[in-house]
Amino acid sequence: MDLLEAQKVIRNDKQTFSEHYLAATTIIGSEDSTLEDLMECLKRGGICAEIGAMRLHTRTGRARRLEKPNLYMEPEDWTEFLRDMDAEE
């Protein structure tokens, strides 16, 4: 699956879990994917959210939580973090 297809699949609620997972792995593996693409991974929950969150942490330099789970995986939390990050620039 190429990035363009993955971007479409991850946003499509009618796709299967397997298709969302394949899309998420393509998105996290591409330097050309956007923060919005990674946010869409979070919205899928489960492993898609976990790998999306790992990539978001890497791309933004955001520290992980001290408690378990140590990844921030809530889309609303990331939206606020990214908005604050933009405000600081």
Domain boundaries of the chain, sorted by first residue: 3-88
Helical ranges in 1-89 per DSSP H: 3-10, 17-28, 35-44, 46-60, 75-88
pLDDT of residue 68: 83
Output DSSP code: residue 67: S
Q: What is the pTM of this model?
A: 0.90
pLDDT at res. 88: 74
55-82 per-position pLDDT tens digit: 999 999 999 988 888 899 999 999 999 9
CB 53 within 8 A of CB 73: yes
